């Protein structure tokens, strides 16, 4: 399946007519085919802002740790969070990953939930926990188990798998 990429014109080489507008559209067959300057935002520990539609119909924006496998975006959430119910009701999300050293270098990914896996699933549950531990290490540098579970409850996790619908890119590192 092809993924449409809208490439915004940037100002990295000076001002130009039509700057900040979409300059070109391209297609990639996978996230691996993205230009490396945008793929680095996916692979490095860049905190994403995820937008989901809340119960009032308005966007809810939250910083999250970003992860993906192949062409599937992964979103690991505590089951007691409102985002879980909102994603189940409206299974679309948009992720924005902005270079922390240059706000004019970013990638936006629109995606749709295709599947969810519970940490309590007897067969696939260990994968949910392992993915959470992996992003813990990616973002903190600390090896081992995720260490931010809510001590006031028996926190359980759910892993949402999302298919990429489209991508927008802007700027250079």
**pLDDT band at residue 130 under the 50/70/90 scheme:** very high
Cα 66 to Cα 166: distance, rounded to the nearest angstrom: 17
> Within a domain: residue 130?
no
Q: Are 3 and 29 in contact (CB under 8 A)?
A: yes
Cα 123 to Cα 150: distance, rounded to the nearest angstrom: 24
**Predicted pLDDT of residue 3:** 77
Question: What DSSP state is assigned to residue 32?
Answer: G
**Predicted pLDDT of residue 5:** 75
Mean pLDDT score of the chain: 91
Q: Are 119 and 113 in contact (CB under 8 A)?
A: no
Prediction pTM value: 0.89
Highest mean pLDDT pick, 27-31, 162-166, 167-171? 162-166
Q: Are 112 and 91 in contact (CB under 8 A)?
A: yes
**Total number of domains in the chain:** 1
What lies within 8 Å, CB to CB, of 140 at 6+ separation is none
DSSP SS3 for 116: strand
> Within a domain: residue 33?
yes
> Within a domain: residue 139?
no
Cα 28 to Cα 172: distance, rounded to the nearest angstrom: 19
- Quick count: other Cβ atoms within 10 Å of Cβ 144? 9
**Residues 18-58 pLDDT 10s:** 655 556 667 777 888 899 999 999 999 999 999 999 999 99
Instruction: Report whether pLDDT(144) > 80.
Output: yes
CATH number at residue 73: 2.30.110.10
Q: Which residue, chain included where needed, has tokens 């119960």?
A: 55
**Residues 108-129 pLDDT 10s:** 999 999 999 999 999 999 999 9
Quote the domain boundaries for residue 23.
3-117+148-170
């Amino acid at each position: 399946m092809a993924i449409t990429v809208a490439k915004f014109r940037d100002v990295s080489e000076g001002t130009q007519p039509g700057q900040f507008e979409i300059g070109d559209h391209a297609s990639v067959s996978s996230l691996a085919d993205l230009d490396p300057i945008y793929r680095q935002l996916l692979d490095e520990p860049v905190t994403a802002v995820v937008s989901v539609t809340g119960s009032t119909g308005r966007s809810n924006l939250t910083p999250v740790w970003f992860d993906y496998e192949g062409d599937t975006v992964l979103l690991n959430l505590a089951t007691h969070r409102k985002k879980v119910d909102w994603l189940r009701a409206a299974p679309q999300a948009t992720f924005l990953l902005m270079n922390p050293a240059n706000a004019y270098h970013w990638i936006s990914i629109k995606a749709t939930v295709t599947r969810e896996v519970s940490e309590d699933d007897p067969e696939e549950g260990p994968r949910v926990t392992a993915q959470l531990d992996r992003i813990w290490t990616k973002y903190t540098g600390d090896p081992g188990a995720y260490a931010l579970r809510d001590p006031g409850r028996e926190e359980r996790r759910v892993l949402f798998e999302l298919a990429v619908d489209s991508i927008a890119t802007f700027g250079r590192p």
